[in-house]
A and B are shown apart, each in its own frame.
Chain A
């Protein structure tokens, strides 16, 4: 159960629209199914009343949408941001990707989002409705009239299980109060992969990445992937629409992308959330974050606007490459 209700959020958003502070709201819109929530720009109270949702399936991070949305008009847009979204928000500001003056950031408290794939594993695919019932979810299926009762904590998405912060890194106002930066265990999974032998690790990633269908959803959703012209879409790059020369080349897409966002990735986990093939892409990014922390000291992208990522900053105390090898194991 989320701390703040849909009702309270809508009331506040209606006020914002009525005051004329903002003329539109970036929020979650209901889809065909309960779990099928879509980002949407709401422009009226009626629209909000009809279609706005807030619940355990509002995972989408709207930060990246602000690049295009703020360019459309001189009026302010209100945006709803969960704590993890605010890091992406700040990182984009650091990179001068949108005008902060044109945004009214509403921070919403988040209790973690559910993973529909985990639910479907329990109930099967035929879900007709999901109702929040305290700490439980009542999942109605086409197989039975009675709902399947599922503890929300059992179906929390991976990124929420190792949530790094319940504290908003940026906001104009908060709904549902603020939390703390958490002592998360998010590098445990990375450590497990590090502990594998080279062959095991290769086999692990081979298994995961070979499922990739190159739908580009991870890239399209990634708030760090905001190039004007992506190298994979650029005919001059020599890589656009290139057919893979061997079975390894497909994997390079993800490795190149992880390098590309290294130091800028806030670990928001959107890449893994949207992957239709359930590839744990966030682990590649997390490995970079873990190494950067080990080599250069703790750095959280998007924690502070204007911070210099260690990879594009120079310090005389920077670790020498010869000393870096092996340091990541500690």
Chain B
């Protein structure tokens, strides 16, 4: 059928009209073959603009329309609805992006106009080959998965469960709680981290809708929004979770006592069978296979003899569990960076150079010193403490060493550390070296000023150049940029505010989720401002520091936001599928499996099918078959296919060639 195309050129106020002669564009495109109507208008997306489109469709019996306007990400859906309302198939709409890809990047009006005409011509060439498409529906599995059991994951899970949906938390450590469980006090109100976190951990542990897979990892993710299939590896903890009562007898009697305690960052030791901390959820013991004598040498078995519940099982093996989910939330959190590359601060040379997280443990009542601030080297009270900020943060000049970004939380926790030290030990001199003090948060600046002004913390603008251990002292050499002089301080303890980075598990997880990441391995948002908790991959949401450095209030707020997005998805029974999916021409397909191998969604399978051949014989051939409900229309198969059998509805090879031809004409 001969196409009758309508072209609608939007001014977008002056956004487009200032650099593109929109009436000239409409006039030029009106002369293109197939175009029977072309008009420009101030705001095509307005009600009046849409009405103009609807009227033209009816009056001129249009079969397809081209809207020359902003990016299809902004208003493609709007104009598809407009077209549908006027009675033509919504997929007979093409958008020529003459704003982001044209008017915004050109200064010269002649150039802008010429390019807008070319982009419009390409869209016309494409729409002439469009075919009506019908979107199907896909069911939604009403269950969510939260990956990571820190405060971000816990809060997200609690909020999703509150709305009545089942939610699973996968946590790689033996307990949920994450970094927040290791913190002492929280800025700017100084309430105890454990006191506000543990009730939430207990809530999560007891909530009927929440299932916690602790000591577990996600090993594979298949499927797509509403229908993810996830394999979770429950690592063998050699303790039957259903039997263990968490009495802790085994953890006291175990003869192996010299295992570095990761919860206290190796500053004290634990037993080979352990519960990370008193409020752990689940409160279940875990046997460390690297140290357990029974698992290593087959000798001992003491814990098994002692356990009244009979929960110890040395033969336990890793278990793979496969579940279906409608939505997945990444909440993989952060870690302080390694101090290996920062030897100028003597971290590896002296036990008395510690990171801020280690300082948290030293101040914590449940920490290695019972909350008494003692130097790790000799257990004496430090009298002079130097805090160094931005260790590895804002390292733009030396990006290979640290991180370019600001870790955001260090200014505040360092003020907190300095303040608490001065409060508990008023005879201690506290110095803080900083580049800038950044306190943009509610009650943050007041907090910092209290540390500096009321608590007498010496804030010094400048960086520490070198820390050298000499006897019992740490010689700190730094510069005071305001006084313009070099400082030499004999410190007893140096605390490094190490930059934070995404957890190492985030990158492989992003690959499994086909979610995108930035160069720092933080997950990227679907839109930095307007969709901050959604990944560009449909059905994948972001919570907490895996998206960028955050403090606790921000993390909790984002966790709630991610949960609300998940709830918004799960409350649908069905989702509208994208009809722009791949399809295979079975007569062209030679069964090579290239497409199957490259498909990131496992949407392609091969079937043996009977074909009636031209010479009247029957032949069984191996051909590709696309599951349109699983296909996301990425097009990877269409370029991998050596024989050109794979094509994409809405973006066929012919359509793209036609666009290129129109541009090159």
Q: Which residues of A are at the interface with B, using a C-beta cutoff of 8 A?
A: 71, 94-97, 226-229, 231, 234, 237, 260-261, 264, 308, 312-314, 316
Contact of A231 among B593, B598, B640, B644 (CB under 8 A): B644
Residues of B within 8 Å of A227, CB to CB, are 588, 590, 642-644
Separation of A228 and B643 alpha carbons in the complex (Å): 7
Q: Are B644 and A97 in contact, CB atoms less than 8 angstroms apart?
A: no
Considering only residues 557-593 of chain B, those with a C-beta below 8 Å from chain A are 587-593
Contact of A229 among B507, B511, B587 (CB under 8 A): B587
Name the distance in Å between B237's Cβ and chain A's nearest Cβ. 30
Residues of B within 8 Å of A95, CB to CB, are 590-594
Residues of B within 8 Å of A316, CB to CB, are 507, 511
Separation of A94 and B622 alpha carbons in the complex (Å): 13
Considering only residues 608-665 of chain B, those with a C-beta below 8 Å from chain A are 619, 622, 640, 642-645
Name the distance in Å between A258's Cβ and chain B's nearest Cβ. 13
Residues of A within 8 Å of B645, CB to CB, are 228
Considering only residues 277-324 of chain B, those with a C-beta below 8 Å from chain A are none
Separation of A308 and B597 alpha carbons in the complex (Å): 8
Separation of A237 and B589 alpha carbons in the complex (Å): 15
Q: Are B644 and A96 in contact, CB atoms less than 8 angstroms apart?
A: no
Asked whether A228 and B588 contact (CB < 8 A) given A96-B622, A260-B642, A312-B640, the answer is yes
Extra pairs beyond A227-B590, A228-B645, A264-B642 (4, CB < 8 Å): A95-B590, A95-B592, A96-B606, A312-B640
Number of A-B contacts (CB under 8 A): 47
Residues of B within 8 Å of A312, CB to CB, are 594, 597-598, 640
Name the distance in Å between B148's Cβ and chain A's nearest Cβ. 21
Q: Which residues of B are at the interface with A, using a C-beta cutoff of 8 A?
A: 507, 511, 587-594, 597-598, 606, 619, 622, 640, 642-645
Among residues of A, the one whose C-beta sits closest to the C-beta of B620 is A71
Complex A-B: 10 CB contacts under 8 Å: A71-B619, A95-B590, A95-B592, A95-B594, A97-B592, A227-B588, A234-B644, A264-B642, A312-B640, A313-B598
Separation of A97 and B597 alpha carbons in the complex (Å): 16
Residues of B within 8 Å of A96, CB to CB, are 591-593, 606, 622
Separation of A69 and B159 alpha carbons in the complex (Å): 64
Name the distance in Å between B62's Cβ and chain A's nearest Cβ. 27
- Chain A binding site: helix, strand, loop or mixed by DSSP? loop
Among residues of A, the one whose C-beta sits closest to the C-beta of B639 is A312
Among residues of B, the one whose C-beta sits closest to the C-beta of A229 is B588
Residues of B within 8 Å of A264, CB to CB, are 642
Name the distance in Å between B665's Cβ and chain A's nearest Cβ. 14
| Chain B CB within 10 Å, residue with most, of A94, A96, A97, A260 | A96
Residues of B within 8 Å of A97, CB to CB, are 590-592
Q: Are A313 and B597 in contact, CB atoms less than 8 angstroms apart?
A: yes
Separation of A227 and B645 alpha carbons in the complex (Å): 9
Q: Are A237 and B597 in contact, CB atoms less than 8 angstroms apart?
A: no
Residues of A within 8 Å of B598, CB to CB, are 312-314
Among residues of B, the one whose C-beta sits closest to the C-beta of A306 is B593
Q: Are A226 and B644 in contact, CB atoms less than 8 angstroms apart?
A: no
Asked whether A237 and B644 contact (CB < 8 A) given A228-B588, A312-B597, the answer is yes
Residues of A within 8 Å of B644, CB to CB, are 227, 231, 234, 237
Name the distance in Å between A329's Cβ and chain B's nearest Cβ. 26
Residues of A within 8 Å of B511, CB to CB, are 316
Contact of B587 among A71, A228, A314 (CB under 8 A): A228
Name the distance in Å between B632's Cβ and chain A's nearest Cβ. 16
Residues of A within 8 Å of B640, CB to CB, are 312
Separation of A313 and B593 alpha carbons in the complex (Å): 12
Among residues of B, the one whose C-beta sits closest to the C-beta of A261 is B642
Separation of A261 and B594 alpha carbons in the complex (Å): 13
Separation of A136 and B644 alpha carbons in the complex (Å): 48
Residues of B within 8 Å of A234, CB to CB, are 588, 644
Shortest 4 CB-CB contacts between residues of A and residues of B = A227-B643, A95-B592, A96-B591, A312-B640
Name the distance in Å between B343's Cβ and chain A's nearest Cβ. 28
Q: Are B590 and A226 in contact, CB atoms less than 8 angstroms apart?
A: yes
| Chain A CB within 10 Å, residue with most, of B591, B592, B619, B640 | B592
Residues of B within 8 Å of A226, CB to CB, are 590
Separation of A97 and B642 alpha carbons in the complex (Å): 13
Residues of B within 8 Å of A308, CB to CB, are 597
Separation of A96 and B592 alpha carbons in the complex (Å): 5
Residues of A within 8 Å of B642, CB to CB, are 227, 260-261, 264
Name the distance in Å between A183's Cβ and chain B's nearest Cβ. 30
Residues of A within 8 Å of B593, CB to CB, are 95-96
Separation of A65 and B640 alpha carbons in the complex (Å): 24
Separation of A97 and B590 alpha carbons in the complex (Å): 7
Name the distance in Å between A237's Cβ and chain B's nearest Cβ. 7
Name the distance in Å between A101's Cβ and chain B's nearest Cβ. 14
Name the distance in Å between A58's Cβ and chain B's nearest Cβ. 28
Among residues of B, the one whose C-beta sits closest to the C-beta of A67 is B590
Name the distance in Å between A305's Cβ and chain B's nearest Cβ. 12
Separation of A264 and B597 alpha carbons in the complex (Å): 14
| Chain A CB within 10 Å, residue with most, of B507, B589, B593, B594 | B594
Separation of A171 and B597 alpha carbons in the complex (Å): 26
Q: Are B643 and A229 in contact, CB atoms less than 8 angstroms apart?
A: yes
Separation of A231 and B642 alpha carbons in the complex (Å): 10
| Chain A CB within 10 Å, residue with most, of B590, B593, B622 | B590
Q: Are B590 and A228 in contact, CB atoms less than 8 angstroms apart?
A: yes
Name the distance in Å between B15's Cβ and chain A's nearest Cβ. 32
Separation of A216 and B594 alpha carbons in the complex (Å): 25
Separation of A66 and B463 alpha carbons in the complex (Å): 73
Name the distance in Å between A238's Cβ and chain B's nearest Cβ. 8
Residues of A within 8 Å of B589, CB to CB, are 228
Name the distance in Å between B131's Cβ and chain A's nearest Cβ. 15
Separation of A185 and B285 alpha carbons in the complex (Å): 62
Separation of A316 and B591 alpha carbons in the complex (Å): 27
Separation of A316 and B511 alpha carbons in the complex (Å): 9
| Chain B CB within 10 Å, residue with most, of A95, A234, A261, A308 | A95
Name the distance in Å between B419's Cβ and chain A's nearest Cβ. 43
Residues of A within 8 Å of B592, CB to CB, are 94-97
Among residues of A, the one whose C-beta sits closest to the C-beta of B595 is A312
Residues of B within 8 Å of A228, CB to CB, are 587-590, 643, 645
Among residues of A, the one whose C-beta sits closest to the C-beta of B585 is A229
| Chain A CB within 10 Å, residue with most, of B511, B594, B622, B642 | B642
Among residues of A, the one whose C-beta sits closest to the C-beta of B622 is A96
Separation of A146 and B597 alpha carbons in the complex (Å): 60
Separation of A97 and B622 alpha carbons in the complex (Å): 9
Residues of B within 8 Å of A313, CB to CB, are 597-598
Residues of A within 8 Å of B622, CB to CB, are 96
Among residues of A, the one whose C-beta sits closest to the C-beta of B637 is A312
Residues of A within 8 Å of B591, CB to CB, are 95-97
Name the distance in Å between A118's Cβ and chain B's nearest Cβ. 34
Name the distance in Å between B620's Cβ and chain A's nearest Cβ. 9
Separation of A14 and B507 alpha carbons in the complex (Å): 59
Residues of A within 8 Å of B507, CB to CB, are 316
Name the distance in Å between A151's Cβ and chain B's nearest Cβ. 41
Name the distance in Å between A89's Cβ and chain B's nearest Cβ. 15
Residues of B within 8 Å of A261, CB to CB, are 642
Among residues of B, the one whose C-beta sits closest to the C-beta of A92 is B592
Separation of A312 and B599 alpha carbons in the complex (Å): 10
Residues of A within 8 Å of B588, CB to CB, are 227-229, 234
Separation of A261 and B588 alpha carbons in the complex (Å): 16
Among residues of B, the one whose C-beta sits closest to the C-beta of A313 is B597
Name the distance in Å between B658's Cβ and chain A's nearest Cβ. 10
Separation of A226 and B594 alpha carbons in the complex (Å): 14
Separation of A97 and B255 alpha carbons in the complex (Å): 62
Residues of A within 8 Å of B619, CB to CB, are 71
Name the distance in Å between B301's Cβ and chain A's nearest Cβ. 43
Name the distance in Å between A318's Cβ and chain B's nearest Cβ. 12
Separation of A260 and B639 alpha carbons in the complex (Å): 11
Name the distance in Å between B517's Cβ and chain A's nearest Cβ. 11
Among residues of A, the one whose C-beta sits closest to the C-beta of B589 is A228
Separation of A227 and B644 alpha carbons in the complex (Å): 9
Name the distance in Å between B607's Cβ and chain A's nearest Cβ. 12
Residues of B within 8 Å of A237, CB to CB, are 644
Name the distance in Å between A279's Cβ and chain B's nearest Cβ. 22
Separation of A23 and B278 alpha carbons in the complex (Å): 76
